[in-house]
Structure 1
Amino acid sequence: MDTTTDPRPLLARAAQQLARLIAAVPAGRYDDPTPCEDFDVRALVGHLTGGAHAFAAIGETGRVAGRITPPEGVPDDGWAAAFDAARARLAAAWADDARLDMPVTVPWGALSGRDYLFSGCVMEMAAHAWDLSRALGDPFPLDEELGACALEWAQRIMPAERRGEGVPFGPVRPAPEGADVYGRLAAWLGREV
Protein backbone atom coordinates (compact mmCIF):
# COMPACT_ATOMS: atom_id res chain seq x y z
CA MET A 1 0.00 0.00 0.00
CA ASP A 2 1.25 3.49 -0.83
CA THR A 3 2.11 5.15 2.47
CA THR A 4 1.60 8.59 0.98
CA THR A 5 -2.14 7.99 1.16
CA ASP A 6 -4.29 9.05 4.08
CA PRO A 7 -4.63 6.16 6.56
CA ARG A 8 -7.61 7.66 8.39
CA PRO A 9 -10.30 6.11 6.18
CA LEU A 10 -8.78 2.66 6.82
CA LEU A 11 -8.50 3.48 10.52
CA ALA A 12 -12.18 4.43 10.60
CA ARG A 13 -13.08 1.16 8.86
CA ALA A 14 -10.92 -0.82 11.28
CA ALA A 15 -12.58 0.86 14.26
CA GLN A 16 -16.04 0.34 12.74
CA GLN A 17 -15.30 -3.34 12.18
CA LEU A 18 -14.27 -3.71 15.83
CA ALA A 19 -17.33 -1.77 16.99
CA ARG A 20 -19.53 -4.17 15.06
CA LEU A 21 -17.75 -7.19 16.59
CA ILE A 22 -17.92 -5.78 20.11
CA ALA A 23 -21.63 -5.09 19.69
CA ALA A 24 -22.04 -8.73 18.56
CA VAL A 25 -20.60 -10.25 21.77
CA PRO A 26 -23.49 -12.15 23.38
CA ALA A 27 -24.11 -11.91 27.10
CA GLY A 28 -22.34 -14.76 28.82
CA ARG A 29 -19.49 -15.00 26.26
CA TYR A 30 -17.07 -12.54 27.87
CA ASP A 31 -15.18 -15.30 29.67
CA ASP A 32 -14.59 -17.25 26.44
CA PRO A 33 -11.00 -17.69 25.26
CA THR A 34 -9.58 -15.96 22.19
CA PRO A 35 -6.70 -16.96 19.89
CA CYS A 36 -4.65 -14.25 21.63
CA GLU A 37 -3.47 -16.31 24.61
CA ASP A 38 -3.24 -13.32 26.95
CA PHE A 39 -6.91 -12.38 26.63
CA ASP A 40 -10.36 -13.81 27.12
CA VAL A 41 -13.13 -11.90 25.31
CA ARG A 42 -13.61 -9.40 28.15
CA ALA A 43 -9.88 -8.69 28.46
CA LEU A 44 -9.54 -8.36 24.68
CA VAL A 45 -12.43 -5.90 24.43
CA GLY A 46 -10.92 -3.94 27.33
CA HIS A 47 -7.53 -3.96 25.59
CA LEU A 48 -9.11 -2.70 22.36
CA THR A 49 -10.95 0.07 24.18
CA GLY A 50 -7.88 1.09 26.14
CA GLY A 51 -5.85 0.85 22.94
CA ALA A 52 -8.14 3.25 21.10
CA HIS A 53 -7.68 5.74 23.94
CA ALA A 54 -3.90 5.22 23.85
CA PHE A 55 -3.81 5.70 20.06
CA ALA A 56 -5.81 8.90 20.55
CA ALA A 57 -3.35 10.12 23.19
CA ILE A 58 -0.50 9.61 20.71
CA GLY A 59 -2.40 11.71 18.18
CA GLU A 60 -2.91 14.38 20.80
CA THR A 61 0.69 14.46 22.07
CA GLY A 62 2.95 12.70 19.53
CA ARG A 63 4.29 10.22 22.07
CA VAL A 64 3.35 7.02 23.87
CA ALA A 65 1.93 7.79 27.28
CA GLY A 66 2.48 4.32 28.77
CA ARG A 67 1.00 0.85 28.71
CA ILE A 68 -2.43 0.23 27.25
CA THR A 69 -4.84 -0.09 30.13
CA PRO A 70 -8.50 -0.97 29.82
CA PRO A 71 -11.01 1.41 31.36
CA GLU A 72 -12.14 0.31 34.80
CA GLY A 73 -15.65 -0.47 35.93
CA VAL A 74 -17.18 -1.15 32.50
CA PRO A 75 -19.99 -3.71 32.81
CA ASP A 76 -20.20 -6.34 30.09
CA ASP A 77 -23.22 -4.63 28.55
CA GLY A 78 -21.33 -1.31 28.48
CA TRP A 79 -18.36 -2.30 26.29
CA ALA A 80 -19.96 -1.29 22.99
CA ALA A 81 -20.60 2.24 24.28
CA ALA A 82 -17.15 2.44 25.88
CA PHE A 83 -15.48 1.46 22.61
CA ASP A 84 -17.63 3.92 20.64
CA ALA A 85 -16.47 6.74 22.95
CA ALA A 86 -12.84 5.66 22.52
CA ARG A 87 -13.07 5.51 18.73
CA ALA A 88 -14.70 8.97 18.66
CA ARG A 89 -11.74 10.31 20.65
CA LEU A 90 -9.35 8.52 18.28
CA ALA A 91 -10.97 10.08 15.20
CA ALA A 92 -10.91 13.55 16.77
CA ALA A 93 -7.26 13.22 17.82
CA TRP A 94 -6.16 12.52 14.24
CA ALA A 95 -8.64 14.79 12.41
CA ASP A 96 -6.09 17.55 11.73
CA ASP A 97 -4.14 16.79 8.53
CA ALA A 98 -0.97 18.16 10.16
CA ARG A 99 -1.02 15.21 12.58
CA LEU A 100 -0.19 12.88 9.71
CA ASP A 101 3.25 14.46 9.31
CA MET A 102 4.09 15.01 12.97
CA PRO A 103 6.90 12.85 14.41
CA VAL A 104 5.69 10.02 16.61
CA THR A 105 7.98 8.03 18.89
CA VAL A 106 6.87 4.48 19.62
CA PRO A 107 8.69 1.36 20.89
CA TRP A 108 9.60 0.28 17.35
CA GLY A 109 11.07 3.65 16.39
CA ALA A 110 10.35 7.20 15.31
CA LEU A 111 8.02 7.65 12.38
CA SER A 112 5.41 9.98 10.97
CA GLY A 113 1.89 10.04 12.29
CA ARG A 114 0.78 8.65 8.92
CA ASP A 115 3.05 5.62 9.21
CA TYR A 116 2.09 5.15 12.86
CA LEU A 117 -1.59 4.94 11.94
CA PHE A 118 -0.83 2.25 9.37
CA SER A 119 1.77 0.29 11.35
CA GLY A 120 0.30 0.66 14.80
CA CYS A 121 -3.39 1.37 14.79
CA VAL A 122 -4.69 -0.34 11.64
CA MET A 123 -2.44 -3.37 12.15
CA GLU A 124 -3.39 -3.76 15.82
CA MET A 125 -7.10 -3.35 15.16
CA ALA A 126 -7.08 -5.79 12.24
CA ALA A 127 -5.13 -8.43 14.16
CA HIS A 128 -7.42 -8.24 17.15
CA ALA A 129 -10.51 -8.17 14.93
CA TRP A 130 -9.48 -11.64 13.80
CA ASP A 131 -8.99 -12.74 17.43
CA LEU A 132 -12.43 -11.48 18.46
CA SER A 133 -14.11 -12.78 15.33
CA ARG A 134 -12.67 -16.26 15.87
CA ALA A 135 -13.73 -16.23 19.53
CA LEU A 136 -17.29 -15.37 18.45
CA GLY A 137 -17.44 -18.01 15.70
CA ASP A 138 -16.81 -15.61 12.81
CA PRO A 139 -20.18 -13.82 12.87
CA PHE A 140 -19.51 -11.91 9.62
CA PRO A 141 -16.77 -11.55 6.98
CA LEU A 142 -13.88 -9.25 7.87
CA ASP A 143 -12.71 -6.40 5.64
CA GLU A 144 -10.13 -7.97 3.32
CA GLU A 145 -8.50 -4.66 2.31
CA LEU A 146 -7.83 -3.85 5.97
CA GLY A 147 -6.35 -7.28 6.49
CA ALA A 148 -4.08 -6.91 3.45
CA CYS A 149 -2.84 -3.51 4.61
CA ALA A 150 -2.21 -4.84 8.12
CA LEU A 151 -0.33 -7.88 6.79
CA GLU A 152 1.88 -5.70 4.60
CA TRP A 153 2.75 -3.45 7.52
CA ALA A 154 3.26 -6.38 9.91
CA GLN A 155 5.74 -7.96 7.53
CA ARG A 156 7.52 -4.63 7.14
CA ILE A 157 7.84 -3.66 10.81
CA MET A 158 7.79 -7.13 12.40
CA PRO A 159 10.10 -9.26 10.28
CA ALA A 160 10.32 -12.92 11.24
CA GLU A 161 13.75 -12.50 12.82
CA ARG A 162 12.52 -9.71 15.10
CA ARG A 163 10.81 -11.86 17.73
CA GLY A 164 11.68 -12.77 21.28
CA GLU A 165 12.05 -10.90 24.55
CA GLY A 166 10.26 -7.56 24.63
CA VAL A 167 8.35 -8.22 21.39
CA PRO A 168 4.61 -8.74 21.90
CA PHE A 169 4.37 -11.27 19.06
CA GLY A 170 5.44 -14.89 18.98
CA PRO A 171 7.48 -16.55 16.27
CA VAL A 172 5.93 -16.61 12.81
CA ARG A 173 3.81 -19.71 12.33
CA PRO A 174 2.81 -21.29 9.06
CA ALA A 175 -0.63 -20.33 7.80
CA PRO A 176 -2.74 -23.21 6.58
CA GLU A 177 -3.02 -23.59 2.83
CA GLY A 178 -5.87 -21.45 1.58
CA ALA A 179 -5.87 -19.19 4.67
CA ASP A 180 -7.43 -15.79 4.05
CA VAL A 181 -5.48 -12.59 4.61
CA TYR A 182 -6.50 -12.42 8.27
CA GLY A 183 -5.35 -15.99 8.84
CA ARG A 184 -2.00 -15.13 7.24
CA LEU A 185 -1.77 -11.98 9.40
CA ALA A 186 -2.54 -13.99 12.54
CA ALA A 187 0.09 -16.60 11.66
CA TRP A 188 2.65 -13.86 10.92
CA LEU A 189 2.00 -12.40 14.37
CA GLY A 190 2.47 -15.80 16.04
CA ARG A 191 -1.10 -17.06 16.38
CA GLU A 192 -2.03 -20.68 15.78
CA VAL A 193 -4.43 -20.54 12.82
Structure 2
Amino acid sequence: MTIDKSVFIPVDPDTAFALITRPERLRRWQTVAARVDLRVGGEYRWTITPGHSAAGTFTEIEPGKRVVFTWDWEGSKAPAADASTVTITLDSVDGGTNVRLVHEGLSPEQAIGHTEGWNHYFERLVTLTTTDDAGADDWAAAPDPLTELVSAEATLAIVQHVLRTLTHADADKPTPCEDFTVSELVEHLVGSITGIGKALGVAVADQPDAAPEVRVADAAQPTLEAFQARGLEGTIDMGFAELPASLVANILNLEFLVHAWDFATATGQDLDVSPVLTDYVLGLAHNTISPQMRGKSFADETLVEESAASMDRLVAFTGRQVLAN
Protein backbone atom coordinates (compact mmCIF):
# COMPACT_ATOMS: atom_id res chain seq x y z
CA MET A 1 0.00 0.00 0.00
CA THR A 2 0.98 3.63 -0.49
CA ILE A 3 0.63 6.73 1.68
CA ASP A 4 0.37 9.99 -0.26
CA LYS A 5 0.32 13.13 1.88
CA SER A 6 0.94 16.81 1.17
CA VAL A 7 1.25 19.87 3.39
CA PHE A 8 2.05 23.52 2.79
CA ILE A 9 4.77 25.16 4.88
CA PRO A 10 5.62 28.87 4.75
CA VAL A 11 9.34 28.51 4.01
CA ASP A 12 11.33 28.32 0.79
CA PRO A 13 12.30 24.93 -0.71
CA ASP A 14 15.93 25.12 0.42
CA THR A 15 14.83 25.68 4.02
CA ALA A 16 12.30 22.87 3.67
CA PHE A 17 15.01 20.56 2.33
CA ALA A 18 17.16 21.30 5.37
CA LEU A 19 14.23 20.53 7.66
CA ILE A 20 13.83 17.04 6.20
CA THR A 21 17.51 16.13 5.88
CA ARG A 22 19.69 17.88 8.48
CA PRO A 23 19.94 16.34 11.97
CA GLU A 24 19.70 19.64 13.85
CA ARG A 25 16.54 20.47 11.88
CA LEU A 26 14.99 16.99 12.12
CA ARG A 27 15.29 17.16 15.92
CA ARG A 28 13.03 20.20 15.91
CA TRP A 29 9.99 18.24 14.69
CA GLN A 30 10.54 14.54 13.97
CA THR A 31 13.43 12.85 15.74
CA VAL A 32 15.05 12.49 19.13
CA ALA A 33 18.39 11.84 17.43
CA ALA A 34 19.53 11.57 13.83
CA ARG A 35 22.55 10.36 11.90
CA VAL A 36 22.54 11.41 8.24
CA ASP A 37 25.05 10.70 5.47
CA LEU A 38 23.36 12.80 2.79
CA ARG A 39 24.62 11.31 -0.46
CA VAL A 40 23.31 8.70 -2.85
CA GLY A 41 24.17 5.40 -1.19
CA GLY A 42 24.61 7.12 2.17
CA GLU A 43 22.80 5.77 5.20
CA TYR A 44 20.68 7.40 7.86
CA ARG A 45 19.41 6.38 11.28
CA TRP A 46 16.63 8.38 12.92
CA THR A 47 15.44 7.74 16.46
CA ILE A 48 11.84 8.79 15.93
CA THR A 49 10.67 8.06 19.47
CA PRO A 50 12.63 6.48 22.31
CA GLY A 51 13.18 2.82 21.51
CA HIS A 52 12.08 3.15 17.87
CA SER A 53 14.66 3.97 15.20
CA ALA A 54 14.17 4.00 11.44
CA ALA A 55 17.11 3.33 9.14
CA GLY A 56 17.75 3.16 5.43
CA THR A 57 19.70 4.39 2.43
CA PHE A 58 19.37 7.49 0.27
CA THR A 59 18.73 6.51 -3.35
CA GLU A 60 18.00 9.90 -4.97
CA ILE A 61 18.90 13.43 -3.87
CA GLU A 62 18.07 16.73 -5.57
CA PRO A 63 18.86 19.50 -3.07
CA GLY A 64 15.92 21.81 -2.59
CA LYS A 65 13.66 19.60 -4.70
CA ARG A 66 13.49 15.92 -3.84
CA VAL A 67 14.90 13.13 -1.71
CA VAL A 68 14.21 9.39 -1.90
CA PHE A 69 15.24 6.85 0.71
CA THR A 70 14.48 3.33 1.83
CA TRP A 71 12.69 2.98 5.15
CA ASP A 72 12.74 0.18 7.68
CA TRP A 73 12.52 -0.06 11.44
CA GLU A 74 15.73 -1.06 13.19
CA GLY A 75 15.35 -4.57 14.52
CA SER A 76 12.64 -5.42 11.99
CA LYS A 77 12.55 -9.11 11.09
CA ALA A 78 11.61 -8.32 7.49
CA PRO A 79 14.40 -8.84 4.92
CA ALA A 80 16.21 -5.66 3.88
CA ALA A 81 14.85 -6.13 0.35
CA ASP A 82 11.35 -5.68 1.78
CA ALA A 83 12.09 -2.19 3.13
CA SER A 84 9.59 0.41 1.97
CA THR A 85 10.50 3.59 0.09
CA VAL A 86 9.85 7.22 0.99
CA THR A 87 9.88 10.00 -1.61
CA ILE A 88 9.60 13.61 -0.49
CA THR A 89 9.11 16.23 -3.20
CA LEU A 90 9.33 19.98 -2.61
CA ASP A 91 7.48 22.36 -4.94
CA SER A 92 7.85 26.10 -4.67
CA VAL A 93 4.45 27.80 -4.44
CA ASP A 94 3.27 31.28 -3.59
CA GLY A 95 4.32 32.01 0.00
CA GLY A 96 6.23 28.82 0.65
CA THR A 97 6.64 25.17 -0.29
CA ASN A 98 4.32 22.27 -0.90
CA VAL A 99 5.80 19.16 0.72
CA ARG A 100 4.54 15.90 -0.75
CA LEU A 101 5.39 12.56 0.84
CA VAL A 102 4.81 9.24 -0.91
CA HIS A 103 5.55 6.17 1.21
CA GLU A 104 5.35 3.00 -0.90
CA GLY A 105 5.69 -0.72 -0.25
CA LEU A 106 3.75 -0.95 3.01
CA SER A 107 1.51 -3.79 4.09
CA PRO A 108 -2.07 -2.81 5.02
CA GLU A 109 -1.19 -3.10 8.71
CA GLN A 110 1.97 -1.01 8.28
CA ALA A 111 0.06 1.62 6.33
CA ILE A 112 -2.31 2.21 9.25
CA GLY A 113 0.50 2.89 11.71
CA HIS A 114 2.62 4.89 9.29
CA THR A 115 -0.33 7.06 8.25
CA GLU A 116 -0.86 7.98 11.88
CA GLY A 117 2.85 8.65 12.26
CA TRP A 118 3.26 10.83 9.18
CA ASN A 119 0.11 12.79 10.09
CA HIS A 120 1.52 13.42 13.56
CA TYR A 121 4.94 14.53 12.38
CA PHE A 122 3.76 16.59 9.43
CA GLU A 123 1.49 18.44 11.83
CA ARG A 124 4.57 19.17 13.94
CA LEU A 125 6.45 20.30 10.81
CA VAL A 126 3.68 22.77 10.00
CA THR A 127 3.66 24.01 13.60
CA LEU A 128 7.42 24.49 13.56
CA THR A 129 7.41 26.51 10.35
CA THR A 130 4.48 28.69 11.40
CA THR A 131 5.35 29.32 15.07
CA ASP A 132 9.11 28.51 15.16
CA ASP A 133 8.56 25.88 17.86
CA ALA A 134 6.87 22.50 17.51
CA GLY A 135 7.25 21.96 21.25
CA ALA A 136 8.18 18.74 22.99
CA ASP A 137 6.86 15.65 21.26
CA ASP A 138 4.17 13.97 23.36
CA TRP A 139 4.98 10.66 21.67
CA ALA A 140 8.47 10.74 23.21
CA ALA A 141 7.32 11.61 26.73
CA ALA A 142 6.55 8.24 28.34
CA PRO A 143 7.80 5.26 26.32
CA ASP A 144 6.35 1.86 27.11
CA PRO A 145 8.07 -0.37 27.98
CA LEU A 146 10.92 1.50 29.61
CA THR A 147 14.45 0.13 29.74
CA GLU A 148 17.65 1.87 30.77
CA LEU A 149 18.50 2.71 27.14
CA VAL A 150 14.97 3.65 26.05
CA SER A 151 14.79 5.91 29.08
CA ALA A 152 18.15 7.44 28.14
CA GLU A 153 16.71 8.38 24.73
CA ALA A 154 13.62 9.87 26.40
CA THR A 155 15.68 11.93 28.85
CA LEU A 156 17.96 13.04 26.01
CA ALA A 157 14.90 14.46 24.24
CA ILE A 158 14.10 16.47 27.38
CA VAL A 159 17.54 17.99 27.87
CA GLN A 160 17.81 18.82 24.17
CA HIS A 161 14.51 20.69 24.32
CA VAL A 162 15.75 22.72 27.30
CA LEU A 163 19.14 23.44 25.73
CA ARG A 164 17.53 24.61 22.48
CA THR A 165 16.31 27.80 24.15
CA LEU A 166 19.63 28.82 25.74
CA THR A 167 21.19 32.09 24.64
CA HIS A 168 24.60 33.67 25.12
CA ALA A 169 23.08 35.70 27.95
CA ASP A 170 22.56 32.47 29.91
CA ALA A 171 26.20 31.35 29.81
CA ASP A 172 27.35 32.79 33.14
CA LYS A 173 24.20 32.10 35.14
CA PRO A 174 24.71 29.87 38.19
CA THR A 175 23.03 26.48 38.21
CA PRO A 176 21.78 24.23 41.02
CA CYS A 177 24.70 21.95 40.16
CA GLU A 178 27.15 23.34 42.69
CA ASP A 179 30.03 25.45 41.34
CA PHE A 180 28.85 25.18 37.71
CA THR A 181 27.59 28.01 35.54
CA VAL A 182 25.38 27.18 32.58
CA SER A 183 28.31 27.16 30.15
CA GLU A 184 30.45 25.09 32.52
CA LEU A 185 27.63 22.60 32.96
CA VAL A 186 27.34 22.26 29.18
CA GLU A 187 31.06 21.41 29.08
CA HIS A 188 30.59 18.88 31.87
CA LEU A 189 27.64 17.22 30.14
CA VAL A 190 29.40 17.01 26.77
CA GLY A 191 32.47 15.62 28.51
CA SER A 192 30.46 12.97 30.35
CA ILE A 193 28.72 11.79 27.17
CA THR A 194 31.99 11.83 25.24
CA GLY A 195 33.71 9.78 27.94
CA ILE A 196 31.01 7.12 27.83
CA GLY A 197 31.13 7.14 24.04
CA LYS A 198 34.88 6.62 24.11
CA ALA A 199 34.45 3.67 26.48
CA LEU A 200 31.99 2.21 23.96
CA GLY A 201 34.51 2.62 21.14
CA VAL A 202 32.95 5.74 19.61
CA ALA A 203 35.01 8.70 18.45
CA VAL A 204 32.84 11.71 19.30
CA ALA A 205 33.75 14.85 17.39
CA ASP A 206 32.93 17.93 19.47
CA GLN A 207 32.38 21.39 17.99
CA PRO A 208 33.08 23.78 20.90
CA ASP A 209 31.67 26.77 19.02
CA ALA A 210 28.37 25.05 18.18
CA ALA A 211 25.16 25.69 20.10
CA PRO A 212 24.83 23.70 23.35
CA GLU A 213 21.94 21.61 22.01
CA VAL A 214 23.95 20.67 18.91
CA ARG A 215 27.03 19.74 20.96
CA VAL A 216 25.06 17.51 23.31
CA ALA A 217 23.05 15.93 20.49
CA ASP A 218 26.14 15.28 18.36
CA ALA A 219 27.82 13.53 21.29
CA ALA A 220 24.75 11.61 22.43
CA GLN A 221 23.61 10.22 19.07
CA PRO A 222 26.65 8.01 18.32
CA THR A 223 27.03 7.12 22.00
CA LEU A 224 23.46 5.86 22.32
CA GLU A 225 23.57 4.12 18.94
CA ALA A 226 26.70 2.24 20.02
CA PHE A 227 25.11 1.43 23.38
CA GLN A 228 21.97 0.07 21.71
CA ALA A 229 24.12 -2.13 19.47
CA ARG A 230 26.20 -3.35 22.42
CA GLY A 231 23.41 -3.98 24.90
CA LEU A 232 23.49 -3.99 28.69
CA GLU A 233 25.30 -7.25 29.35
CA GLY A 234 28.68 -7.41 31.06
CA THR A 235 30.90 -4.52 32.06
CA ILE A 236 32.40 -1.45 30.39
CA ASP A 237 35.95 -0.25 30.97
CA MET A 238 35.49 3.41 31.86
CA GLY A 239 39.21 3.98 32.31
CA PHE A 240 38.92 4.62 36.04
CA ALA A 241 36.99 1.39 36.71
CA GLU A 242 35.11 -1.51 35.14
CA LEU A 243 31.43 -0.73 35.60
CA PRO A 244 28.35 -2.82 34.83
CA ALA A 245 26.93 -1.69 31.49
CA SER A 246 23.54 -1.16 33.11
CA LEU A 247 25.12 1.20 35.65
CA VAL A 248 26.71 3.25 32.85
CA ALA A 249 23.29 3.52 31.20
CA ASN A 250 21.85 4.68 34.53
CA ILE A 251 24.50 7.40 34.66
CA LEU A 252 23.46 8.65 31.22
CA ASN A 253 19.87 8.91 32.40
CA LEU A 254 20.90 10.98 35.41
CA GLU A 255 23.19 13.18 33.34
CA PHE A 256 20.39 13.97 30.88
CA LEU A 257 17.41 14.41 33.18
CA VAL A 258 18.96 15.94 36.29
CA HIS A 259 20.99 18.40 34.26
CA ALA A 260 17.89 19.24 32.22
CA TRP A 261 16.39 20.33 35.55
CA ASP A 262 19.57 22.26 36.37
CA PHE A 263 19.49 24.14 33.06
CA ALA A 264 15.76 24.81 33.28
CA THR A 265 16.01 26.07 36.85
CA ALA A 266 18.99 28.30 36.04
CA THR A 267 17.25 29.91 33.06
CA GLY A 268 13.70 30.12 34.38
CA GLN A 269 12.20 27.48 32.11
CA ASP A 270 9.31 25.21 32.99
CA LEU A 271 10.27 21.55 32.87
CA ASP A 272 7.38 19.29 31.93
CA VAL A 273 8.35 15.64 32.37
CA SER A 274 6.03 12.66 32.53
CA PRO A 275 5.89 11.21 36.06
CA VAL A 276 6.16 7.78 34.44
CA LEU A 277 9.65 8.73 33.27
CA THR A 278 10.73 10.53 36.45
CA ASP A 279 9.53 7.61 38.59
CA TYR A 280 11.63 5.27 36.47
CA VAL A 281 14.76 7.44 36.59
CA LEU A 282 14.33 7.92 40.34
CA GLY A 283 14.48 4.15 40.65
CA LEU A 284 17.68 4.13 38.57
CA ALA A 285 19.14 6.82 40.83
CA HIS A 286 18.53 4.69 43.92
CA ASN A 287 20.36 1.84 42.20
CA THR A 288 23.25 4.09 41.16
CA ILE A 289 24.10 6.58 43.91
CA SER A 290 25.71 4.78 46.83
CA PRO A 291 26.52 6.32 50.23
CA GLN A 292 30.20 6.25 49.25
CA MET A 293 29.47 8.66 46.38
CA ARG A 294 28.08 11.34 48.69
CA GLY A 295 30.43 14.28 49.12
CA LYS A 296 32.23 13.31 45.90
CA SER A 297 30.10 12.92 42.79
CA PHE A 298 26.89 13.82 44.65
CA ALA A 299 26.00 16.01 47.61
CA ASP A 300 23.96 14.65 50.48
CA GLU A 301 20.30 14.04 49.78
CA THR A 302 18.10 17.00 50.64
CA LEU A 303 14.69 16.82 52.25
CA VAL A 304 11.39 17.09 50.39
CA GLU A 305 7.88 16.07 51.32
CA GLU A 306 7.05 12.42 50.71
CA SER A 307 4.15 13.66 48.61
CA ALA A 308 6.46 15.72 46.37
CA ALA A 309 6.50 15.05 42.64
CA SER A 310 8.97 12.39 41.58
CA MET A 311 11.02 14.98 39.66
CA ASP A 312 11.49 16.93 42.90
CA ARG A 313 12.33 13.74 44.78
CA LEU A 314 14.84 12.81 42.07
CA VAL A 315 16.77 16.08 42.18
CA ALA A 316 16.62 16.10 45.99
CA PHE A 317 18.10 12.59 46.01
CA THR A 318 20.99 13.89 43.90
CA GLY A 319 21.67 16.61 46.49
CA ARG A 320 19.89 19.62 45.01
CA GLN A 321 17.75 22.08 46.93
CA VAL A 322 14.16 22.08 45.75
CA LEU A 323 12.36 25.37 46.24
CA ALA A 324 8.78 25.19 47.46
CA ASN A 325 6.21 26.27 44.89
For 2:178, which of 29, 37, 40 is the aligned residue?
Answer: 37
- The residue type equivalent to 2:222 in the other structure is R
Per-residue CA deviations over 1:120-155 (Å, capped at 9, x if unaligned) read 111222211111111121334124333222211222
Query: Structure 1 pair 164/79, CA: closer, same or farther in 2 (3 Å)?
Result: closer
Write 1 or 2 for the structure with the bigger share of helix.
1
Aligned partner of 1:89 in structure 2 is 222
Residues 1:162 and 2:292 are matched in the alignment: yes
Deviation at 1:191, TM superposition (A): 1.0
Residues 1:74 and 2:208 are matched in the alignment: yes
Q: Is the 8 A contact 2:235 2:242 kept in 1?
A: no
Residues 1:125 and 2:256 are matched in the alignment: yes
Distance 2:186 2:170 in 1: 12
Aligned pairs for 1:141-156 within 5 A = 141-156=272-287
Residues 1:191 and 2:191 are matched in the alignment: no
Q: TM-score, normalised by structure 1?
A: 0.77
Query: Structure 1: any 5+ residue segments left out of the alignment?
Result: 62-70
Deviation at 1:29, TM superposition (A): 1.1
Structure exhibiting the larger radius of gyration computed from Cα positions: 2
Among the aligned pairs, what percent are the same residue? 21
Q: Is the 8 A contact 2:261 2:271 kept in 1?
A: no
Deviation at 1:34, TM superposition (A): 0.7
Q: Which has the higher contact order (CA 8 A, sep 6+)?
A: 1
Query: Structure 2: any 5+ residue segments left out of the alignment?
Result: 1-144
Distance 1:164 1:9 in 2: 27
Aligned partner of 2:150 in structure 1 is 9
Deviation at 1:164, TM superposition (A): 4.3
Residues 1:46 and 2:187 are matched in the alignment: yes
Per-residue CA deviations over 1:83-120 (Å, capped at 9, x if unaligned) read 22111121222131x43213224568632x23431x21
Query: Structure 1 pair 144/26, CA: closer, same or farther in 2 (3 Å)?
Result: farther
Distance 1:43 1:92 in 2: 26
Q: Is the 8 A contact 1:6 1:114 kept in 2?
A: no
Distance 2:241 2:282 in 1: 17
For 1:175, which of 304, 308, 311 is the aligned residue?
Answer: 304
Residues 1:138 and 2:272 are matched in the alignment: no
Query: Structure 1 pair 184/15, CA: closer, same or farther in 2 (3 Å)?
Result: same
CA RMSD across the alignment:
2.6
Distance 1:116 1:130 in 2: 20
Aligned partner of 1:68 in structure 2 is none
Query: Structure 1 pair 152/28, CA: closer, same or farther in 2 (3 Å)?
Result: same
Aligned pairs for 1:105-116 within 5 A = 105=237, 110-111=243-244, 113-116=245-248
Q: Is the 8 A contact 2:171 2:182 kept in 1?
A: yes
Distance 2:160 2:274 in 1: 13
Tell me the number of residue pairs that the alignment of Structure 1 and Structure 2 aligns.
Answer: 174
Q: Is the 8 A contact 2:173 2:266 kept in 1?
A: yes
Query: Structure 1 pair 60/5, CA: closer, same or farther in 2 (3 Å)?
Result: farther
Distance 2:179 2:275 in 1: 25
Q: Is the 8 A contact 2:247 2:288 kept in 1?
A: no
Q: TM-score, normalised by structure 2?
A: 0.48
